[in-house]
Amino acid sequence: LALAAAMFTHNYVSSISPGSDPARNPDLQRALFVQEHTPPDAVIYIAGVSAGYNNGKIYLPYFAKRQARVVDWIVGRQGPFPRSLLSSLRNDRNLPVFVISELVEPGEALSSLVSDHNLDIEDVPSLFRSLGLEKAASMPDGFALYRVTFKGGG
């Protein structure tokens, strides 16, 4: 019983309480940041891997009211890279398209994504850069939004 109480206390202090306090929930703060810095019809591309903003799959549609495009799923289920990702981006080109920093800047999320799909570390960032990127906004923790400009028609 003492062990169960200790485990509950630990879980509450380390996970439940911070997650229920909006100011201490970084995933919620990121979703609200996205909502504030993107138009309502925006599409947001995320890696969708556990090393990154994985909760964006849920938080972006629910809290930010934005469509999330999960690159892990696109590349894993819709065909080989780069064709699958380019196809998704082309389908979205008439909407405001944004990509979060985990897909274009070095870090654990990008490393995990490319490892899971046997890609080179520069494959995904290079594809997005080739379409044109403009930094739209960034948070103090480094989380950033880039607008895809589709220079040259995408």
78-101 confidence digits (pLDDT tens): 888 999 999 999 999 999 999 999
Distance CA 75, CA 17 (A): 35
Classify residue 32 as exposed, middle or buried by CB count within 10 Å of its CB (0-12, 13-18, 19+): middle
Please list the pLDDT of the chain residue by residue as tens digits (154 residues). Answer: 666 666 666 565 555 555 567 788 999 999 999 999 999 999 999 999 998 999 999 999 999 999 999 999 999 888 889 999 999 999 999 999 999 999 999 999 999 999 999 999 999 999 999 999 999 999 999 999 999 999 865 5
Distance CA 153, CA 139 (A): 29
For the CA atoms of the chain, what is the radius of gyration? 17
Q: How far is CA 88 from the centre of its chain?
A: 15
Phi, psi of 130 (to 5 degrees): -65, -25
Per the prediction, the chain carries an average pLDDT of: 90
pTM equals: 0.85
User: What pLDDT, on a 0 to 100 scale, did the predictor assign at position 1?
Assistant: 67
The pair of structure tokens assigned to 123 is 């494959």
Distance CA 34, CA 81 (A): 26
Helix (H/G/I), strand (E/B), else coil: 23 = helix
Long-range CB contacts (within 8 A, 24+) of 76-83: 76/116, 76/117, 81/117, 81/119, 81/123, 81/124, 82/123, 82/127
User: What pLDDT, on a 0 to 100 scale, did the predictor assign at position 78?
Assistant: 84
User: What pLDDT, on a 0 to 100 scale, did the predictor assign at position 19?
Assistant: 54
The pair of structure tokens assigned to 124 is 């995904």
User: What pLDDT, on a 0 to 100 scale, did the predictor assign at position 55?
Assistant: 93
Measure CA of the first residue to CA of the last residue in the chain; give whole Å.
61
Helix (H/G/I), strand (E/B), else coil: 60 = helix
